[in-house]
Structure 1
Amino acid sequence: MITNRISKEQFQTTFFRITKDDLPLLQKKFWLFDWKKEIKTAERVVYKLTTRENPAVIQGLISCSDFGDHMFVNLVESASFNRGENRLYQGVAGNLFAIICQESFDKGYDGFIVFESKTKLVSHYRDLLGAQRLGNSVRMFVDTKAASQLIKNYL
């Protein structure tokens, strides 16, 4: 579920694997990352987050890889209108990470996901996701307990 920041109205979310039909919506001018390149990488899966009410509008994207005992998040990005202080919807990032936590559970990995954080976002991910830092690195992980909470909160 995501929440309109202004009206406080909540919207149920859905997620799907990105398809070739979505390519026109992934123009570089709308996204910080090159999602078309990400889709072409064989060992990566890209999911789009939409609302049930408006499935044609992508709220955010996430790319992951299956490492055999956990899921690794390669890239995650909210749509341009969902970034910064004036974002339209809250909860996009939480939903995106919850999707991968659910996939981790489905594969028998107990919800574990791993990702590399930008240094300035380490505390943000700790607060938002319950993620923990691996030593002093920017590599972070979400364990079973935190993954369960994300799924409960967002899916």
Structure 2
Amino acid sequence: MKEEGWLFDWSVPHSNGYEVYELLLKGTEERQGLMALKHVRDQLYTHVDLVESAPSNKGSNGIYQGVGAHLFAIACKLSWDVGNEGFVQFKTKTNLVKHYQETLNAKNIDEQNMYIDSYASINLIRKYFSKEA
């Protein structure tokens, strides 16, 4: 995947017990983004290890905008599905903290660790999942 322009080695999170999810356009096999997560059931949250938009979706000139937020909405839905009440935790680069506060309504745990609470989770799910999905 590196030769296709993806930044991360997606075999690493999988080998560390994370599930890797793809965001596809309906009716295609073309990856629009990837996300690695695992559910921490004893602490009632879902941990997102990596999120990456496809190379064609990166930056302001990307084909599709909102891929990252859509992937986080999937994490929120999966968190609800396993009984973690929508709580999602992740570590971000310092320069993206404000972006995640604005786009995901994420809150800081410390300088780089953030979380999405139940309320923000519900809002993301409503925004990115249609009633027919």
Structure 2 distance, partners of 1:31, 1:77, is 8
Question: Which stretches of structure 1, 4 residues or longer, exceed 4 Å deviation after superposition?
Answer: none
Structure 1 distance, partners of 2:116, 2:12, is 26
Equivalences for residues 64-75 of structure 1 within 5 A? 64-68=37-41, 69-75=44-50
Q: TM-score, normalised by structure 2?
A: 0.91
Q: TM-score, normalised by structure 1?
A: 0.78
Aligned position for 2:21: 47
Structure 2 distance, partners of 1:112, 1:37, is 24
Superposed displacement of residue 66, structure 1: 1.3
Structure 1 distance, partners of 2:100, 2:82, is 23
1:138 matched to 2:115? The reply is no
- Identical-residue share of aligned pairs (%): 40
Residue aligned with 1:89, SS: coil
Contact 2:13–2:49 (Cα < 8 Å) also in 1: no
Partner amino acid for 1:39?
Answer: H
Q: Structure 1 stretches of 5 or more lacking a match? A: 1-26
Aligned position for 1:114: 89
Superposed displacement of residue 109, structure 1: 1.1
Q: Structure 2 stretches of 5 or more lacking a match? A: none
Partner amino acid for 2:76?
Answer: C
Aligned position for 1:79: 54
Aligned position for 1:7: none
**Structure having the larger proportion of residues in helix:** 2
